[in-house]
């Protein structure tokens, strides 16, 4: 990774709150934005703002072109077969909800089975809880082994003629585990089920090829990959989109509307009711182009190397326990510290300018599996380097010293 890459992200120069440089280690929650993306959004509003798909004047056509060019860019980014396979959403959560409602609600019935995994984010759990309440479909789980990897045997043992959906996270937002989604999709299709991949933590961090993976659906969030908040995408095999009922109704998604009935536009427009996040899409295209210029292979290698280094460095500190697989980890490093609660760790690190996440990371069932209430999580991206790991480690050592076990003191009554 080039050493001046931090300069691409204005926040690092602008951050002055603590009189210390910003060591941002929460990119799994959201990444910082390069100037190129910020400028693209600003330029869109300054020069091209108009509503899309229905204007009869040049400005609207320009806005429409920018919006549709973004769709093409996202399709290229994940190697979708055609731009029309990309539906713009707010984020991966909305993409997954779209599948659950538009596909799940209409195709699942009592006794059908949906297979998820032990390491899902709430966004790939709660929608299925809702759909299973409506349809009577049963939820099953691919189990996690002691090295924080999915146990494919537990999928093979559970999958069968009743399985209609297999939906798994590509990269765990807590453990960083890269799951064997290609194999999982193959097994799903063998059983006649559809295969869904939650790509919120993979699209930003590694080359992704949805055709190579062989999934039917793939969800991503723009803000986790240098793009603006409020824009995400759903990739779907086009035939599936054609057969699906709409998710939201309104303008843009219709063909003809009568007082009591309506028919719908072709996908992807059928799934984009209302004025979309045009500026967000423009920003997402800039983000995609930025990441392509950096090179996704390089992003991946940089993060894995940094994750490996951080896991090794933190493990040297007494009392630190790392939750990361030995061989399939990424730039996500979750940890706990004996006698220091993750929330206290976060406050201690914050005082040193280090931003990490502490909590359940929207994965409460996984926390229970790990038998912890919460973890601290450092997640690295292209603008981090080894010096950030050193600041993290020394701040952590300082905090541990502060919390060293004391004898019962007389300071209290």
Distance, in Å, from the CA atom of 130 to the CA atom of 240, rounded to the nearest integer, reads 21
Secondary structure element (H or E) that encloses residue 67, with its range: helix 58-77
Tell which one of 152, 360, 365, 390 touches other proteins (CB under 8 A): 360
Residue 359 touches other proteins, criterion: CB under 8 A:
yes
List binders of other proteins among 290-349 (CB under 8 A): 339, 341-344, 347-348
Binding mask 114-153 for other proteins (x = CB under 8 A): ----------------------------------------
Residue 411 touches other proteins, criterion: CB under 8 A:
yes
Which of 185, 215, 226, 362 does the annotation list as catalytic? Answer: 362
Nearer to other proteins, 256 or 410 (CB): 410
In the bound complex, what is the minimum distance in angstroms from residue 305's beta carbon to other proteins?
Answer: 31
Contact between residue 398 and residue 352 where contact means Cβ atoms under 8 Å apart: yes
Q: Under the phi-then-psi rule, with left for phi > 0, alpha for psi from -120 to 50, and beta for the rest, what region is 118?
A: alpha
List binders of other proteins among 390-409 (CB under 8 A): 399, 402-403, 405-406, 408-409
Nearer to other proteins, 205 or 377 (CB): 377
Tell which one of 137, 142, 358, 393 touches other proteins (CB under 8 A): 358
* 362 belongs to the catalytic site: yes
In the three-class reduction of DSSP (H, G, I as helix; E, B as strand; rest coil), residue 180 is classed as coil
Distance, in Å, from the CA atom of 203 to the CA atom of 377, rounded to the nearest integer, reads 19
Counting residues that bind other proteins (by CB under 8 A) gives 24
Contact between residue 187 and residue 344 where contact means Cβ atoms under 8 Å apart: no
Distance, in Å, from the CA atom of 3 to the CA atom of 398, rounded to the nearest integer, reads 28
Nearer to other proteins, 110 or 413 (CB): 413
In the bound complex, what is the minimum distance in angstroms from residue 90's beta carbon to other proteins?
Answer: 21
Distance, in Å, from the CA atom of 284 to the CA atom of 84, rounded to the nearest integer, reads 17
Nearest residue to 200 via CA among 58, 388, 1, 27? 27
Distance, in Å, from the CA atom of 145 to the CA atom of 403, rounded to the nearest integer, reads 32
Which residues lie near other proteins (CB under 8 A)?
A: 339, 341-344, 347-348, 351, 358-360, 367, 373-374, 399, 402-403, 405-406, 408-409, 411-413
Catalytic residue numbers read 362
């Amino acid at each position: 990774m080039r050493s001046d890459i931090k300069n691409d992200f204005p926040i690092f120069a602008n951050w002055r709150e603590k009189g210390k440089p910003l060591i941002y280690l929460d990119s799994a929650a959201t990444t910082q934005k390069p100037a190129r993306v910020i400028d693209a959004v600003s330029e869109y509003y300054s020069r091209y703002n108009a509503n899309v798909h229905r204007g009869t004047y040049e400005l609207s056509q320009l806005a429409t072109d920018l919006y549709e060019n973004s769709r093409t860019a996202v399709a290229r980014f994940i190697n979708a077969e055609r731009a029309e396979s990309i539906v713009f959403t707010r984020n991966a959560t909305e993409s997954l909800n779209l599948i659950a409602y538009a596909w799940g609600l209409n195709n699942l019935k009592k006794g059908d089975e949906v297979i998820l995994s032990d390491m899902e984010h709430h966004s790939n759990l709660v929608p299925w809880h809702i759909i299973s309440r409506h349809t009577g479909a049963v939820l099953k789980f691919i189990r996690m082994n002691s090295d924080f990897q999915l146990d494919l045997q537990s999928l093979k043992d559970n999958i069968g003629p009743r399985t209609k959906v297999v939906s798994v996270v590509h990269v765990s937002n807590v453990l960083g585990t890269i799951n064997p989604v290609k194999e999982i999709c193959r097994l799903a299709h063998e059983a006649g089920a559809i295969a869904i991949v939650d790509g919120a933590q993979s699209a930003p961090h590694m080359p992704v090829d949805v055709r190579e993976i062989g999934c039917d659906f793939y969800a991503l969030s723009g803000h986790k990959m240098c793009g603006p908040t409020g824009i995400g995408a759903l990739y779907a095999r086009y035939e599936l989109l054609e057969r699906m009922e709409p998710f939201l109704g309104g303008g843009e998604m219709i063909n003809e509307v009568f007082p009591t009935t309506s028919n719908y536009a072709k996908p992807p427009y059928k799934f984009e009711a209302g004025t979309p996040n045009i500026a967000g899409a423009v920003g997402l295209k800039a983000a995609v182009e930025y990441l392509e210029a950096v090179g996704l292979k390089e992003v991946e290698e940089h993060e894995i190397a940094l994750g490996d280094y951080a896991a090794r460095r933190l493990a040297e500190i007494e009392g630190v326990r790392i939750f990361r697989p030995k061989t399939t980890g990424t730039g996500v490093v979750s940890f706990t510290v004996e006698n220091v609660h993750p929330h206290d760790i976060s406050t201690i690190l914050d005082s040193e300018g280090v931003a990490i996440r502490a909590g359940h990371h929207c994965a409460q069932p996984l926390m229970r599996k790990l038998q912890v209430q919460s973890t601290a999580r450092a997640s690295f991206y292209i603008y981090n380097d080894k010096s950030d790991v050193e600041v993290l480690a020394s701040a952590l050592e300082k905090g541990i010293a502060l919390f060293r076990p004391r004898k019962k003191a007389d300071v209290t009554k």
